[in-house]
Structure 1
Amino acid sequence: MSAPKTVGVLGGGRMGAGIAHAFLLAGSRVTVIERDAASADAAAERVGAGIRRSADRDAGFDIAETASRFSVGTDVSAFSDAELVIEAVPEDRDLKEQALSRAEGVLGETAVLASNTSSISIDDLAATRRHPGRFLGLHFFNPVPASALVEIVRGSATDDVVLDRALGWVHALGKTPITVKDSPGFASSRLGVMLGLEAIRMLEDGVASASDIDAAMTLGYRHPMGPLRTTDIVGLDVRLGIAEELARELGDRFEPPALLRRMVADGHLGRKSGRGFYDWNEEN
């Protein structure tokens, strides 16, 4: 199956821009909608930077043609002809509910609506949807264009044909889909966050340095990246939000460590702020 001809992305932050970039590379026409003009301009710059990086890596890449299939704005009515709309706002239940409600009000009769949530129940989000059969989770990973995986979360109401379309779209992106049922943290966040939280507790307890804890997993278990560096790239605030959601659903084993809460409160969010468990200003 080919990629959808028209894709809408609601939210143009790091994840939303990455999702837009991935679909542009697959040949889709993509529109990103943001909350205001300043945010839309920032989203346009993020996607444009991604397109330029693709051109730098591939001498035959047609940057003008790719850019011609991209638009950004603030009015969700631009999604009226989209085959697929993906909500990619921050990991906050109320924000996602508001974003999904805005988007579905303009969608066509066969359009699929998806959330990029990494922890919030798809069934909970589907409960207030007009067409829950055409709703599911599409959980992308950062950085989206380079990542190999998309986690497809099937809600109890998701139609078979919608799931099949989603599987085809993920393959068209050159990525591997896994399908999981709706459950707290799905598969990837539940495992990844647990490992990350334990690594933070080990650092908090003085067991080892951040780099040595990460080396234990990269060299000892052949993980491509250690859990603390991964947390920096995901964003400490994002990981804190996911952990809080999982703690509510699954109990104290997902309770965020005090160190994580303190670092977020101090604005040390990882790569995007320049400092987390590592100093990213030295690496950039």
Structure 2
Amino acid sequence: MYTREEATDEIDRRMRDRDGEGWLWFDGYGSLMSLRALLDACVDVRYVSLDITALIGGGWIESAASICDDKRASAPLDPRPLATTVILAEGSTDIRILQRSLTALFPERKDYFSFFNHAELSVDGGAAYLVKFLKAFAAARAPLRLVVVFDNDTTGRQAYLQASALGLPDNMIVVVLPDTELARQYPTFGPQGEHVVDVNGKAASIELYLGRAALTKDRALRRVRWSGYNAAADAYQGEIEGKAEVEATFLRGVANCSNPAEARMEFPELVEVWTTIFRAVEKAAEEAERKLHDRVVQVG
């Protein structure tokens, strides 16, 4: 419990200090994420209370006010800052890989995210459907924080640009799988024969982020095979050979990692994927809290 009494030792002093060296206070716009961070750090805490006696005595709050209910009623469509962020991707394979990799690489963050389940109701997948889902969620003003992850291939890039141009609310975030060094010089096969080229933005589906071991067969990287031509993007679409085998090898490999540090070393491309997602969520959350703070200040 926090009180105004004098600190009894150095730890107590740092817990009370509000001048830059304190452990309790967080910079921000009054975000509940600060409370979430405190609760995550204090894993044994099961009950939190707020003493508003001084606020009632000062006339700021009526004694019979239901402040939590009033807050919920005043902004029923605002995303809940302590709710999980929902990850959507192009299909069940992407979701399975993202979910498994988050648990292995960043287990301390897994409780902050939940995942769209394509298989539960046989929901259609693909980049075009993701754009449709975003339009539907935005039109319904769904109070969820969503992150939609597009593949870094021709179709995914095109859909990402379409989604980015929709004027989505702050709680709906779109990202595309990041470019990687591995994909900059990657073996491909097509009508013109075999070539080593940069497949970022043309053929980098989620499988290309599952590590060299999963992508290697007979001591060589599995090739990307060029397929159909996308007239709208004026580019060809490519796909890794043996996608199911790549995923199966990855799942075995990630299960054998003894700790998160080992997993991050083994799958650097997936680290880049999650770093991209984390940064996008943090930026969106900060912007939402800033707007909420400005709105409260204007009302006040």
Q: Normalising by the residue count of structure 1, what TM-score does the alignment of the two structures yield?
A: 0.29
Q: Normalising by the residue count of structure 2, what TM-score does the alignment of the two structures yield?
A: 0.28
Between Structure 1 and Structure 2, whose CA radius of gyration is higher?
A: 2
